[in-house]
Amino acid sequence: MSRFKLMVDNDFGPTVAEAVNKIGSNVTAKTSIENGLAHDAEDAALVVHNKNWIILTHDKNTLNERFFRPCSHDGIIIIKEKRWFPETVAASLKALRQSGKANLVAHHVTHLFPDKAIIHTHKGTEEVSL
């Protein structure tokens, strides 16, 4: 299983990072502030600043495959639950890791639902059941 280094968008905050860090030893999550970004950093700054970190966000409007094409960044995971909680975000990430398709997340844009992931790659889209 590949290692996940997740930079949690400031909109999520430290509670999501704490919940994600409890998944296991192959997952590290830090907030964007802990990674040196300002509290009100723009989305483009998140993408440009992150080096070897996958962005974890619920911002589907500007952090998506239309604005940040696959393979032009280190990866973006968008939580697609309307009512998310730190525990549900962690559970969805854990299910993705256990699906055997977690290696597709790096450098791509992943829309993560509780029961599936839609991963946009440079070759097309892959849907993964969780």
Query: For the segment 72-109, what is each residue's pLDDT rounded down to a tens digit?
Result: 899 999 999 989 999 999 999 999 999 989 989 999 99
Q: Tell me the torsion sign for CA atoms 84, 8, 80, 41.
A: positive
**What does the pLDDT read at residue 11?**
78
* pTM (2 d.p.): 0.92
Angle at 44 between CA 25 and CA 81, to 5 degrees: 55
Query: For the segment 53-66, what is each residue's pLDDT rounded down to a tens digit?
Result: 999 999 888 889 99
CA distance 2 to 52: 13
Percent of the chain beyond pLDDT 70?
Answer: 98
Residue ranges and CATH numbers for the domains of the chain are 4-129 (3.40.50)
